[in-house]
Amino acid sequence: MNNVTRAKISVPLLLSLAVLIVVPVSAQNRPYPNDFSGHWVPLFHEDDPDRGTGPALGQYEEMPINEDARARAMTWDASIQGLPEWRCRPHSPDYAVRSPQHEQIWAVWDDITREVKEWHIANERDSSDRVIYMDGRPHPGPNAPHTWSGFSTGEWIGDILKVTTTHLKEGYVRRNGVPISDQRTFNDYLMRRDDGYLTWVTIINDPVYLAEPWIWTTEFKLDPYGRVDAAPCVVSEEETRAGGEGQYGFVPHFLPGQNPYIDEFAIENGLPIEATRGGPETTRPDYREKMKTMKPAVAK
């Protein structure tokens, strides 16, 4: 065998060996299977009322809430957000992703290995960023402090980023006062598509206020020129009843059964009151058939 023949055989052989050796190693050492970095603009293809001004008072259909959540939501008075204790209160991350605000996501790399050790998420109008730890650390114990952003860890399922969040403060999951407890946990599943879209799936479990897991999806579009700027809290006067009623320290609320606005949504839309009260049954498609047997609400 001459030298030319040996060269013709050895070069392809070496290239084949290089592919066998280099490709698996490089694939194993990639910093992440998918890149979510960028400025993401929310789309309003689904649940538009929730994403804008928010659902109406008493509008709880398609929410798997239990009796305790319903009872508390029906005492809600939005004027409570005018109290000094509420004016700089951040949104919880499970609420913020469904808001009309933009999201900024970026990776933090290890200085030596160049592997992603954290993902950071900034919401357009929140002062507290969310940190997702990717180093396999465990979640804190049950007595650890709860924060507005919670404690989040991430793991890869193929090219899907699964995020588990615990240790959250109590909050609300809809702008009409539907509560969510500090005992809840939730998972996010981030799926980036090649056409610049991001599908964000959220699954909330709350033993206090939910009768079953609450699942929703949210769509975002990448804006390569956008940016979420700093969001320092600016105090503003928005309340209509905070500090009212002639009492110092008055906390806006309605006593059980005394909210005069709770049935307005059902009356204005000709819906049965029972159907607007939410619960697992109202999340099922076949519930529409049951609604046909109910009487619509009428003004008294």
Give the pLDDT confidence score for residue 202 in this predicted structure. 96
**Residue 132 CB coordination number (10 Å):** 26
Give the pLDDT confidence score for residue 63 in this predicted structure. 94
Residues 6+ apart with CB under 8 A from 141: none
Give the pLDDT confidence score for residue 193 in this predicted structure. 87
Q: Where are the domains of the chain?
A: 38-49+87-223
Give the pLDDT confidence score for residue 169 in this predicted structure. 95
Single pTM value for the model: 0.83
Residues 6+ apart with CB under 8 A from 147: 128, 167, 168, 169
Give the pLDDT confidence score for residue 97 in this predicted structure. 85
Give the pLDDT confidence score for residue 72 in this predicted structure. 95
**What DSSP line would sit under 74-134, residue for residue?**
TT--GGGGGSTTTTTPPPPHHHHTTSS--EEEEEEE-TTT--EEEEEEEETT-SS-EEEE-
Tell me the CATH number of domain 38-49+87-223, given options 2.40.50, 3.40.1000, 2.40.128, 1.20.950.
Answer: 2.40.128
The rounded average pLDDT for each run of 10 residues, N- to C-terminus, in the chain (300 residues) is: 44 39 41 87 81 84 95 91 80 84 91 92 81 96 94 96 97 91 97 92 97 94 87 64 59 90 94 95 94 91
Give the pLDDT confidence score for residue 91 in this predicted structure. 82
Give the pLDDT confidence score for residue 254 in this predicted structure. 92
